[in-house]
Amino acid sequence: MDDQPVSPVDENPWDALRRFTNARIALGRAGSSLPTAPLLAFNLSHAQARDAVHQPLDTAALHDALRAAGFDTLDAQSAAPDRDHYLRRPDLGRTLCDASAASIAALAADTSEPPELVFVVADGLSAYAATRHAVPFLTALRAKLGGWSIGPVVVATQARVALGDGIGELLRARIVVVLIGERPGLSSPDSLGIYLTYEPRIGRSDAERNCISNVRPEGLGYEAAAFKLHYLLNEARRLKLTGVGLKDHSDALIASPAQTGGAIESG
C-alpha cells in the first residue's frame, strides 16, 4: 500500500501557464478556499502595496545617488504637509509649497538660459519605485540625449503628476518629464510612471501629457523605456506638443521584440 498522504490541494490544469505571468492564476483549491501558500503570498503582496503607499522617500539617499551618477539636483515639496494630507487632498499634491516655489523661482532668475528639459523624480504613490528605478532609468536615457539642454533633477515629495507643471513653468523649461511612483498593484509595488508635458504651466490637463507606465525590470525595462521616451521627446520638440496629439510609433523602430511589458498612453 502507498503510505504517502494525499494532498488536500486540488491542482489547477492551468498550472503550467503560471511561469509565463505574475498574475494570480492556477492557484489551486483546498476545499472552498485557497491553499495556504498562495493565501500567504497574497497577504504579503497586500502588505507590500500598503507599505509602498506610506513609505517616505529617502530624499538624501536619492540626491546622493543622482549626484554620483552626474546629475545636478534640487529639492521640492508640494503643499501637502504630510502623507495623510497627501492621500486625502490630491489637490495639495499638485501645487508647490511656498518655500519650494520661492527657491525654484530664485534659481530660475539666476539662470540666463532656460533648459529645454527638466526631470522631476517624485514619490507619488510608491516611493519604492522612485528609489529603485529613477537613477538607472535616467542613466540609460542620458546616453540618448546628446544635443539637449538639461536642467537639474528635481526631487519632489508628497507629489502628484501635475506638480511638474508648476516646476517646469518656474524653470521656463520647454518640456518637463515627471518620474513618479504609480499606484501599487498586488504584483507590482514598485512600478514607475513617466509623464511628459510640452510647455508645462499650471492648469495643463492630463490630455496634454503622455504617459509611459510600468517601468521596472519585470515590466518595461530601462532601455526600452528610455528608447520610447527619447522618441516621444524628439517628436514633442518637432511637433511642439504632447498629449492626445502626440502618437507613439516607436515600436516600429525597435529591432528586437523584447520588453513589451509596459504600456504607452496619451493623456
Binding site for adenosylcob(III)alamin: residue ranges? Answer: 161, 182, 211
What DSSP string runs through 132-195? HHHHHHHHHHHTT-TT--B-PEEEEES--TTHHHHHHHHTT-SEEEEEEEPPPBTTBTT-EEEE
Q: Are 138 and 153 in contact (CB under 8 A)?
A: yes
Please name the amino acid found at residue 240.
K
Per DSSP (E only), the strands in the chain are 73-77, 117-122, 153-157, 175-181, 192-198, 209-215, 263-266
| DSSP type of residue 228 | H
For 236, the enclosing helix (H) or strand (E) is helix 222-239
| Residues 216/79/199/135 CA torsion (nearest 10 deg) | -30
Q: Are 168 and 104 in contact (CB under 8 A)?
A: no
Burial letters 89-102, b for 16+ CB under 10 A, else e:
eeebbbbbbeebbe
**Other CB atoms within 10 A of residue 146 CB:** 6
The alpha carbons of the chain give a radius of gyration, in whole angstroms, of: 21
d(CA 244, CA 234): 16
Give binding residues as ranges: 161, 182, 211
Q: Are 38 and 27 in contact (CB under 8 A)?
A: yes
